[in-house]
Amino acid sequence: MTCKTMRQRGFTLIELMVATFSGMLLIAVIFSIMFQVTGMSDQIVGKVRMNQEHREVFRLLANGGLENVSGTIRYVPGVRGRFQSNANAFPTVTRSNDTLSLSSDEDFGAGPTSPVLTSRSLTAAVPITCRGINDPVPECVVGTETLNISGYLGTLGADTAEDFNGKRRWATYRLKVFDPHLVNDKNVTASEYSSDMHFIFGLGRE
């Protein structure tokens, strides 16, 4: 009866190096996918924030709303609600602190109160580095300065009106909304951190 001994063979240095390299490569691929998914998630969240501001601006422009002025609730007419006031005047639309500002000097029996409505603002200012002149906001004069941004409205185009028989029939607004959270990410393009919109309001009713 013969007895055979079996020798156990270990890994060679080359095999260990190949296995280590393969493992590192796999980890690198996994991290790359994770970073891509995280970046995509940030962009999706940014689009949601910009869409929220678009809807808020449209709501304020179209319908206006109520504002508490010194304990008194006053109505600020929107573009569509201009004829609901006694003065029959068009509301004033401006951009202030990177938000939409809608105001009116309407007299509702208690004298002009100048109530003001603003679009949604950030809970805290966000520091950004300008991407260029007027990019993403007009306050970017040099194009490389750092600004503290408190809202999502980049630009608000001048109001234009179309008259018919001496009466105003249309009001149009062009605006750009941006997400300050994405501006500092150099991997995000302008089309990803900002979006443009054109509003047209028909003013046919008397």
Which pLDDT value is given to residue 206? 45
Predicted confidence band at 17 (pLDDT cuts at 50, 70, 90)? confident
Q: How far is CA 155 from CA 46, 71, 90, 94, 136, in A?
A: 17, 32, 21, 10, 8
**What are the tens digits of pLDDT across the range 62-114?**
888 888 777 777 788 887 765 444 444 567 889 989 999 988 776 555 555 67
**What are the tens digits of pLDDT across the range 37-63?**
555 778 888 888 899 999 999 998 888
Predicted confidence band at 186 (pLDDT cuts at 50, 70, 90)? confident
**What are the tens digits of pLDDT across the range 142-179?**
999 999 999 999 998 877 766 656 566 777 888 999 99
In the predicted model, is pLDDT for residue 30 greater than 90?
Answer: no
Query: In the chain, what are the domain boundaries?
Result: 17-202
CA angle at 179 for the pair 138 and 175, rounded to the nearest 5°: 50
Residue indicated by tokens 């970073």 = 35
Give the Cβ contact number of residue 123 at 10 Å.
7
- Kindly calculate the radius of gyration of the chain based on its CA atoms and give it in whole angstroms: 29
Which pLDDT value is given to residue 150? 92
